[in-house]
């Protein structure tokens, strides 16, 4: 029955010149999302609206599911198009539509017509009244409520006539690409994929970096991160995933620094390297999955220590989330099942029994001097051997 979708988006904050950027980015992301669906689709902007027209058979549920991954969409309205064959014929179509879409008709409704084609013989008000009357006649169990109806039946008169009444919620947010780019520190855990999703939702394109420590971390652990990036890329578009071999740096820190400070010092090197790649790839910030107090390396004092090595802003969208709240988002976006696969990550391999929870930055800096002899060279090598995988 449905052959098109009207895409609703929030209009606040996108007035004037920005509106085109917003709409073009949205159209681009919709195209990307639908590329993987069966069928042909024409995506077009008409008078401040975006339509997805199906030009072949398609799977309704699959298309809706895909559209629900596109940030910037606040609602998805399935549309029926009909030719203009006179008002009586339109009444027939509309009552047929109601019979199909609303098996239970104990509902209130209002008709909301828009006459975009001005040569149509009835104006909007008249369409509202005449159609309302015709519907009441066909379905006496229905009632009109113009203030708070269960069903708003939209009728848009254009070249063809568009009919829609259902709004399926979209993910909200802003289209990816309208907000610059940021570098996500992506581990195999539950938190960082959610963090990337949340920043992307604000319109930010995402690249990612994963610190791999073979043979202490396995190929499977790496594959898990690639899999997570792939799930996140359903929402963000293609992700450039940088795989950094961190083994020698980690072993060197292990050899030279107090063990209770290992995690913090290691995290500081991750941040430094991530920032280096971020700056080279025009990223305007770093993203981590940290949340205050979740583990020893995420106390306020530890965050001071990891934060101070970066100049770029570090976005931590989960900072005030409880684990359970993070889990809920990861289930919603589909990363949870992959995240809980039991592959060791490099943070858990070299952890001390009693890591510091209140690191003193001055002490940490002093202990980092133990690394002076070789660390620059090791970091340079890690950067040179960066393996980039384009995940989509």
* C-beta closer to ligand ATP: residue 209 or 378: 209
Tokens at 202, concatenated: 């604000």
What is the DSSP annotation of 141-186?
Answer: T-EE-SSS-SEEEEEEESSSEEEE---EE---SB-TTSS-EEEEE-
* C-beta closer to ligand ATP: residue 163 or 286: 286
Tokens at 143, concatenated: 């009632």
Binding partner of residue 58 among Mg ion, ligand ATP, none, CB cut-off 5 to 8 Å per kind = none
**Closest-CB residue for Mg ion?**
189
CB neighbourhood size of 384 (10 A): 7
Residues that bind ligand ATP in the complex, under the rule CB under 6 A: 185-187, 189-192, 209-211, 270, 288-290, 294-295, 297-298, 345-347
Binding partner of residue 207 among ligand ATP, Mg ion, none, CB cut-off 5 to 8 Å per kind = none
3-state secondary structure of 189: coil
* C-beta closer to ligand ATP: residue 66 or 316: 316
What's the min distance (Å) between Cβ of 295 and ligand ATP?
5
Half-sphere exposure of 98 (CA within 13 A, CB side): 30
What's the min distance (Å) between Cβ of 189 and ligand ATP?
2
**Closest-CB residue for ligand ATP?**
189
- 298 and 292 Cβ atoms separated by less than 8 Å: yes
CB neighbourhood size of 385 (10 A): 10
Binding partner of residue 296 among ligand ATP, Mg ion, none, CB cut-off 5 to 8 Å per kind = none
* C-beta closer to ligand ATP: residue 154 or 306: 306
Count residues near Mg ion (CB under 5 A).
2
Q: Which stretch binds Mg ion (CB under 5 A): 92-100, 153-161, 185-193, 272-280?
A: 185-193
Binding partner of residue 235 among ligand ATP, Mg ion, none, CB cut-off 5 to 8 Å per kind = none
Interacting residues with Mg ion between 34 and 53 (CB under 5 A): none
Q: Please tell me whether the peptide bond between 215 and the residue prior to it is cis, using omega within 30 degrees of 0.
A: yes
Burial of 361 (0-12, 13-18, 19+ CB in 10 A): middle
* C-beta closer to ligand ATP: residue 36 or 332: 332
What's the min distance (Å) between Cβ of 205 and ligand ATP?
17
The CA distance from 113 to 162, in Å, is: 10
3-state secondary structure of 320: coil
Interacting residues with Mg ion between 188 and 247 (CB under 5 A): 189
What's the min distance (Å) between Cβ of 249 and ligand ATP?
12
Half-sphere exposure of 201 (CA within 13 A, CB side): 16
* C-beta closer to Mg ion: residue 187 or 306: 187
* C-beta closer to ligand ATP: residue 96 or 293: 293
Torsion angle in degrees (nearest 10) through CA of 287, 292, 293, 294: -50
Torsion angle in degrees (nearest 10) through CA of 97, 43, 160, 141: 20
What's the min distance (Å) between Cβ of 187 and Mg ion?
4
Find, among 298, 287, 291, 362, the residue nearest to 322 by Cα. Answer: 291
Query: Does 298 contact Mg ion by CB under 5 A?
Result: no
What's the min distance (Å) between Cβ of 331 and ligand ATP?
14
3-state secondary structure of 227: helix
* C-beta closer to ligand ATP: residue 270 or 333: 270
Query: Does 175 contact Mg ion by CB under 5 A?
Result: no
What's the min distance (Å) between Cβ of 332 and Mg ion?
20
Outline where 213-345 has alpha helix (H).
219-236, 247-256, 262-280, 300-307, 323-333, 336-339
Tell me the residue length of the chain: 392
Find, among 164, 8, 168, the residue nearest to 97 by Cα. Answer: 164
**List 128, 178, 187, 250, residue binding Mg ion (CB under 5 A):** 187
What's the min distance (Å) between Cβ of 288 and ligand ATP?
4
What's the min distance (Å) between Cβ of 248 and ligand ATP?
15
Q: Which spans of this chain sit near Mg ion (rule: CB under 5 A)?
A: 187, 189
């Amino acid at each position: 029955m449905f052959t098109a979708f009207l895409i609703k988006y929030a209009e606040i904050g996108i007035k004037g010149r920005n509106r085109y950027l917003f709409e073009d980015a949205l159209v681009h992301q919709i195209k990307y999302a639908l590329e993987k669906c069966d069928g042909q689709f024409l995506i077009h902007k008409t008078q401040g609206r975006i339509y997805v027209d199906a030009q072949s058979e398609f799977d309704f549920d699959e298309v809706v599911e895909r559209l629900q991954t596109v940030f910037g969409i606040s609602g998805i309205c399935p549309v029926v198009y009909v030719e203009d064959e006179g008002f009586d014929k339109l009444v027939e179509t509309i009552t047929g539509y109601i019979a199909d879409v609303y098996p239970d008709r104990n509902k209130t409704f209002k008709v909301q017509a828009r006459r975009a084609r001005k040569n149509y013989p009835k104006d909007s008000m008249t369409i509202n009244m005449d159609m309302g009357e015709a519907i009441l006649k066909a379905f006496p169990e229905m009632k009109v409520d113009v203030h708070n109806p269960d069903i708003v039946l939209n009728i848009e008169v254009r070249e063809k006539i568009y009919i829609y009444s259902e709004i399926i919620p979209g993910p909200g947010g802003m289209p990816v690409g309208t907000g610059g780019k940021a570098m996500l520190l992506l581990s195999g855990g539950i938190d960082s994929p959610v963090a990337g999703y949340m920043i992307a939702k604000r319109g930010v394109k995402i690249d990612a970096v994963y610190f791999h420590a073979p043979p202490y971390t396995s190929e499977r652990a790496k594959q898990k991160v690639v899999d997570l990036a792939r799930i996140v890329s359903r929402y963000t578009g293609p992700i450039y995933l940088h795989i950094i071999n961190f083994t020698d740096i980690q072993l060197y820190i292990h050899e030279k620094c107090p063990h209770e400070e290992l995690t913090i010092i290691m995290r500081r090197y991750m941040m430094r390297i991530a920032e280096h790649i971020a700056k080279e790839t025009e990223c305007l910030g770093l993203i981590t999955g940290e949340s205050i107090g979740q583990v020893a390396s995420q106390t306020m004092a530890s965050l001071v220590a990891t934060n101070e090595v970066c100049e770029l802003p570090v976005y931590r969208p989960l900072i005030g989330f409880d684990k359970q709240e993070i889990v809920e988002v990861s289930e919603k976006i589909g990363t949870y099942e992959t995240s809980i696969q039991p592959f060791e990550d490099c943070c858990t391999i070299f952890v001390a029994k009693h890591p510091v929870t209140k690191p003193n930055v001055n002490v940490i800096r002093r202990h980092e001097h133990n690394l002076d002899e070789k660390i620059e060279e090791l970091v340079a090598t890690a950067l040179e051997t960066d393996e980039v995988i384009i995940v989509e």
